[in-house]
Amino acid sequence: MSTDIIQVLPDKSNRLDLCNQIETIFFQTSSVQHFPSEQARMIFKDRWLTPYLSAATTEFYSLWVAMEESRIVGYLTGHSNTLRFRADHEHISLSLFADLHDDFPAHLHINMAPHQQGKGVGASLIQAYLKELQSKKIGGVHLVTGPKARNTSFYRRQGFSTECIRTSGSVDLLFMGQKLD
Ligand SMILES: CC(C)(COP(=O)(O)OP(=O)(O)OC[C@H]1O[C@@H](n2cnc3c(N)ncnc32)[C@H](O)[C@@H]1OP(=O)(O)O)[C@@H](O)C(=O)NCCC(=O)NCCS
């Protein structure tokens, strides 16, 4: 079955349906699987997903999906100006690496549905986003993950070669950056 990589622009007619499918994958793949309350679940979603789905009307937000027929099997959310993003959505994974955002201004989040992982589709989503950033003359992009996460080898293969580990409380976070031409 062929997989299409599609940019979801703000005026896409079935955007609401697509956002609901993205939310399903977000919770399937989230590092947190059990929430003490529905409110805690919503706070988590509003931190990591909602800004990218609801505010995608500006030039800074990006939303890419991988589709098989009419089903989303993975998505990538991004913002091309992390300094600006932080003005409304501050979080430790951003503030901890604030000094690196001039060199790597854009950031991204990516998740593939569980049955779709390891098939090479995540790489296509990343490459589509990198091309979009290059066309906008953005000089660099980054993401934050855990230093022991399995996905680090994936990001290294996609060209995220600048690495920086910092600690917040008892948690180690890994910044992975890539300069763009
Ligand atoms: C990380 C991820 C986006 C990569 O997309 P993909 O299409 O699976 O990746 P590819 O098939 O191109 O490459 C395979 C690599 O993906 C990563 N990967 C595959 N399955 C994974 C999983 N369940 N969890 C974490 N990373 C995984 C590994 O680095 C793997 O390389 P390896 O086999 O050498 O370990 C996708 O696997 C995923 O969504 N994983 C779970 C959630 C996650 O880690 N999201 C990123 C949060 S920062």
Mean pLDDT of the chain: 95
Q: Which domain holds residue 13?
A: 4-179
DSSP string, 139-158: -EEEEEE-TT-TTHHHHHHT
Using one digit for the tens of pLDDT, what is the confidence trace for 98-115? Answer: 999 999 999 999 999 999
Angle at 142 between CA 136 and CA 148, to 5 degrees: 160
Residue 151 Cβ inside 6 Å of ligand 1? The answer reads yes
| pLDDT score, position 56 | 56
93: CA distance to ligand 1 center in Å? 20
**Total domains in the fold of the chain:** 1
CATH code of 158's domain: 3.40.630.30
* 124 CA closest ligand 1 atom index: 12
Residue 145 Cβ inside 6 Å of ligand 1? The answer reads yes
Of 77, 63, 50, 76, whose CA–CA distance to 14 is shortest? 63
The Cα 42–Cα 158 span in angstroms is: 31
The model's pTM: 0.96
Using one digit for the tens of pLDDT, what is the confidence trace for 3-60? Answer: 999 999 887 778 889 999 999 999 999 989 999 999 999 999 999 999 999 855 568 9
